[in-house]
Amino acid sequence: MRPRIAMLCCGLLAAPAATWAETPMSYQRTFGPAVDPVTRLAWGLGTVSLVVIVVIGVLLLGSLLRRRDAADGDSGQLAVRHDGGGMAWIYVGSGISLVVLTGCMVWTLIVTAAVARPPSPPLLTVQVTASQWWWGLRYQGAQPDRTFTTANEIHIPVGQPIRFELASADVVHSFWIPQLAGKMDVIPGQTNVLWLQANKPGTYRGQCAAYCGVQHAHMAIFLVAESAQDFAAWQNHQLAETPMPVSDSDRRGEEVFQGHCAVCHTIRGTGSAGHVGPDLTHLMTRGTIAAGLLPNTPGTLAAWIANPGSLKPGTHMPAQVLSGSELKAVTSYLTTLN
């Protein structure tokens, strides 16, 4: 059996390595001080574990296949051997385990302390509110009026520790961007705090990691780490109010939005200030809609507005009763929100 298993394991271990690029949720390689020591620790413990498995496997195999001396192998008659031997195994085995274990414990404690808090005080605090099934984000500015709200797509400057305050609007969720930090549960009635830092620019994928209802599977979040300038630019753009619609159809769309959507959604500058669904002020600056379910294109937008339940069964967004022209108008209006 062993060889087969071994082959199998190697094959499986190779599989991810091959497809490394396409595994945005894999945390075997990480990109920030909040998690890098942990990754090293994980590899370390993993290796220890594999060694243990192999050693025990070999010993087991050995004990099974080892040749017994013919002396007491009398004619297959089931004689019973009585000797006090073997205790040495327990002493030695447990002894070694204990030593290895202690080592691992110490290493773990060191790493725990290392990642417990950021090296320097975070320059930015993002308040995350998890709801079924999307992420609300509020950036705490230096002054209150630098505070703004967005959803499902975090932007941070590279190389800076960022503080996340996690609150839940309904049930237990878990905030997890594997390549930047470990999980932190989002629990109603308490605010959990997490810090992370991205040392490499890029887009990192995250996902809710605690079962939170039927659409737990579709509650992704994206984190874009960018240069300080790009981030500042993004921040200022987010702070700006959306311009009033110009074309008639867009004005019509805005009017439809106010009537049908504004009770749940906010578009800053239009008087709509709904808190039930994501803030749409700069919708078109986001890569996806419906918490990572669909790419953000006019087509998907229209499909989503027409019948969200068919794309994301169980979503709390109701299907609006809209005429074709209304749907068209509101979609084209939304596409102006960049």
* Near other proteins in 169-198, by CB under 8 A: 169-172, 174, 176, 178, 181-185, 187-193
The tokens for 304 are 């989503």
Q: Which long-range contacts (CB under 8 A, 24 or more apart) does 243-249 make?
A: 243/269, 244/269, 244/270, 245/333, 245/336, 249/328, 249/329, 249/332, 249/333
- The binder of other proteins chosen from 123, 275, 284, 285 (CB under 8 A): 275
Find the DSSP H helices in the chain: 2-18, 36-65, 87-116, 228-239, 248-260, 298-306, 308-311, 324-334
Report the site for other proteins in 101-140 (rule: CB under 8 A): 101, 104-105, 108-109, 111-113, 115-116, 132, 138, 140
Q: Which residue of 3, 70, 75, 90 would you call a contact of other proteins, by CB under 8 A?
A: 90
Q: Using CB under 8 A, which of the segments 99-107, 225-233, 243-251, 295-303 binds other proteins?
A: 99-107
Closest distance of CB 187 from other proteins, Å: 6
Binds other proteins (CB under 8 A): choice among 10, 146, 287, 299? 146
The site map against other proteins for 29-68 (x = CB under 8 A) is ------x-xxx-xx--xx-xx--xx--xx-xx-xxx-x-x
Report how many helices (DSSP H) and strands (DSSP E) the chain contains, helices first.
8, 14
- Least Å from the CB of residue 81 to other proteins: 5
Closest to 330 in 3D by CA, of 240, 261, 238 = 261
How close are the terminal C-alpha atoms of the chain, in Å? 60
Smallest gap from Cβ 307 to other proteins, in A, equals 6
Among 128, 130, 212, 327, binds other proteins (CB under 8 A): 212
Nearer to other proteins, 68 or 229 (CB): 68
Cα angle 67, 70, 75; round to 5: 115
Q: How far apart are the C-alpha atoms of 264 and 156, rounded to whole Å?
A: 27
- Is 249 within 8 Å of 174 (Cβ atoms)? no
Shortest approach of other proteins to residue 302 CB, angstroms?
16
Report the distance separating Cα 122 and Cα 163, nearest Å: 6
**Contacts (CB under 8 A) with other proteins, residues 245-264:** 259-260, 262-264
Please report whether residue 143 would count as binding other proteins according to CB under 8 A: yes
Question: Which of 227, 309 has the CB closer to other proteins?
Answer: 309
Using CB under 8 A as the binding rule, the residues of this chain from 277 to 306 that contact other proteins are none
